Amino acid sequence: MIETAFIWQTIKDTLYTFFQNIRVVDVLDILIISSFLYIVLNLLRQRASRHSLYSFLLILAVYVLARITGMYLTELLIEGLFIIILIGFIVVFQSDIRRIIDRIGNYKFFNKSGPVSSDMATSILTEAICKMADQRMGALIAFKGQEDWGRHVHGGIELDGKITIPLLHSIFNTKAPGHDGAVLSDGQRVLKFGVHLPLSTNLNELSIGGTRHTAALGLSEKCDALIIVVSEERGAISIAQNGQIKQLESHADLKKHLDDFWAEYHQSDPASFKLWAERRNMKTALAASSLAFILWLSFAYPSETVFRTYDLPIEYSNLESTFYTLQDAAPLQARLTLSGSKQAFRNFDPSKAIISFDMTSEDLEELELNIGSNNIKLPAGLHLYKADPPTLQLRKKHFVTTELPVKVPTTGTIAEGFEIDSIVTSPKFVTVLIDTEAASIDSILTDPVDLSKIKEESTLQKKLQMEGDKLRLPENSSPVISVTIKGRKTQS
Residue 402's pLDDT is 86
Cα-trace Rg, the chain: 41
The DSSP 8-state label assigned to residue 202 in this structure reads: -
Count the residues in the chain: 492
Q: Could you tell me if 98 and 27 lie in one domain?
A: yes
Residue 272 included in any domain = no
* Residue 439 and residue 478 in contact, taking contact as beta carbons nearer than 8 Å: no
Residue 290 included in any domain = yes
Backbone angles phi, psi at 309, to 5 degrees: -115, 135
Residue 229's pLDDT is 92
Q: Could you tell me if 123 and 263 lie in one domain?
A: yes
- List CB contacts of 443: < 8 A, sequence separation 6 or more: 404, 405, 406, 407
Output the CA–CA distances (angstroms, integers) from residue 120 to 142, 146, 237, 255, 259, in the order listed: 19, 22, 20, 11, 11
In angstroms, rounded to a whole number, what is the distance separating the alpha carbons of residues 63 and 75?
6
* Residue 206 and residue 200 in contact, taking contact as beta carbons nearer than 8 Å: yes
Residue 5 included in any domain = no
Residue 65 included in any domain = yes
Residue 3 included in any domain = no
User: Which ranges of 239-358 does DSSP label H, i.e. alpha helix?
Assistant: 252-265, 272-278, 281-299, 342-345
Residue 48's pLDDT is 47
The two beta strands, 399-407 and 444-445, are: parallel
The pLDDT > 70 percentage for the chain reads 75
Residue 273 included in any domain = no
CATH number at residue 468: 2.170.120.40
Q: What range does the domain containing 251 cover? A: 119-267
State the CB neighbour count (10 A cutoff) for residue 454. 21
Q: Could you tell me if 294 and 310 lie in one domain?
A: no
pTM value is: 0.46
Residue 418's pLDDT is 81
Q: Could you tell me if 244 and 176 lie in one domain?
A: yes
The two beta strands, 449-450 and 410-411, are: parallel
* Residue 172 and residue 139 in contact, taking contact as beta carbons nearer than 8 Å: yes
Which domain-ending residue is among 370, 396, 422? 396
Q: Could you tell me if 128 and 257 lie in one domain?
A: yes
Q: Could you tell me if 422 and 377 lie in one domain?
A: no
Q: Could you tell me if 481 and 368 lie in one domain?
A: no
Q: Could you tell me if 366 and 462 lie in one domain?
A: no
Burial class of residue 489, CB neighbours in 10 A (0-12, 13-18, 19+)? exposed
Q: Could you tell me if 105 and 181 lie in one domain?
A: no
Number of domains the chain contains: 4
Residue 223 CA, chain-centre distance (Å), reads 28
Residue 6 included in any domain = no
Residue 274 included in any domain = no
Q: Could you tell me if 18 and 95 lie in one domain?
A: yes
CATH number at residue 251: 3.40.1700.10
Kindly give the parts of the chain with pLDDT less than 50.
Answer: 1, 48, 109-117, 268-273, 275
* Residue 144 and residue 159 in contact, taking contact as beta carbons nearer than 8 Å: no
DSSP one-letter string for 84-144:
HHHHHHHHHTHHHHHHHHHHHHH--SS---S----HHHHHHHHHHHHHHHHTT--EEEEE-
In angstroms, rounded to a whole number, what is the distance separating the alpha carbons of residues 205 and 245?
7
CATH number at residue 362: 2.170.120.30
State the CB neighbour count (10 A cutoff) for residue 153. 22
Q: Could you tell me if 354 and 249 lie in one domain?
A: no
Q: Could you tell me if 391 and 405 lie in one domain?
A: no
